Homo-oligomer: A and B are copies of this chain.
Amino acid sequence: MQEFVVLISEKKSILAPKNKVFTSKYGKIDTAGVKIGDCITLKDEIFVVAEPSTPDLLKKCRRGAQIVMPKDAAQLVAITGLSRGWRCLDAGSGSGFMSLFLGIIVGRQGQVITYEKRADFFSIAKKNIELFKLDRVVAIKNQDVTEFRERNLDLIFFDFKDSSILIKKAKSRLKPGRWLVVYSPHIESQLSALAEMRDNKMHISATVETIQRFWKSNFGYTHPEPSGIMHTGFMTFARKVL
Residue numbers in B under 8 Å from A239 (CB-CB)? 8, 13, 50
- Determine whether A187 belongs to the interface, using a CB cutoff of 8 Å to chain B: yes
Q: Say yes or no for A206: interface residue by CB 8 A criterion.
A: yes
Please pick, from B178, B188, B207, B212, the residue contacting A214 in the complex, using a CB distance under 8 A: B207
Whether A8 pairs with B187 at a CB distance below 8 angstroms is no
Beyond A227-B227, A230-B213, is A77–B77 a contact (Cβ under 8 Å)? yes
Residues from chain B with a CB closer than 8 A to the CB of A64 are: none
Question: Closest residue to A220 on the B side, CB-wise?
Answer: B188
8 Å CB contact of A203 from B10, B51, B52: B10
* Interfacial chain B residues near A107, Cβ < 8 Å: 84, 107
On chain B, the residues within 8 Å of A226 by CB distance are 185, 229-232
Q: A55-B79, A209-B224 are in contact. List 11 more A-B contacts (CB 8 A).
A: A10-B204, A10-B241, A11-B203, A51-B177, A71-B75, A74-B77, A77-B105, A208-B213, A213-B231, A224-B231, A228-B228
Residues in chain B near residue A52, CB distance under 8 A:
177
Distance (whole angstroms) from the CB of A112 to the closest CB of chain B? 14
Copies of this chain per assembly: 4
A82 shortest CB reach to chain B, Å: 8
In the complex, the answer to whether A224 meets B230 with C-beta atoms within 8 Å is yes
Contacts of A224 in B (CB 8 A): 209, 230-231
Q: Which residues of B have CB within 8 Å of A77?
A: 70, 74, 77, 105
A64 to B53 Cα, complex, angstroms: 33
Please state if A241 and B46 are interface contacts (CB–CB under 8 Å). yes
**If the complex has contacts A49-B176, A203-B9, are A213 and B217 also in contact, measured as CB distance less than 8 A?**
no
Decide if A164 is an interface residue (CB 8 Å cutoff).
Answer: no
Considering only CB atoms, which chain B residue lies closest to A184 in the complex?
B223
CA distance A235 to B231 in the complex (A): 18
Q: Given the complex, which residues of B lie within 8 Å of A122, measured CB to CB?
A: none
CB distance from A69 to the nearest CB of B (A): 8
Which residues of the other chain, B, contact A51 by a CB distance below 8 angstroms?
Answer: 175-177
A23 within 8 A of B: no
Shortest beta-carbon contacts, A-B, top 6 = A50-B177, A54-B81, A70-B78, A74-B74, A53-B81, A224-B231
The answer, yes or no, to whether A210 is at the interface (CB within 8 Å) is yes
Query: Quick check: B223 and A215 within 8 Å, CB to CB?
Result: no
Is A194 in the interface zone, CB < 8 Å from B? yes
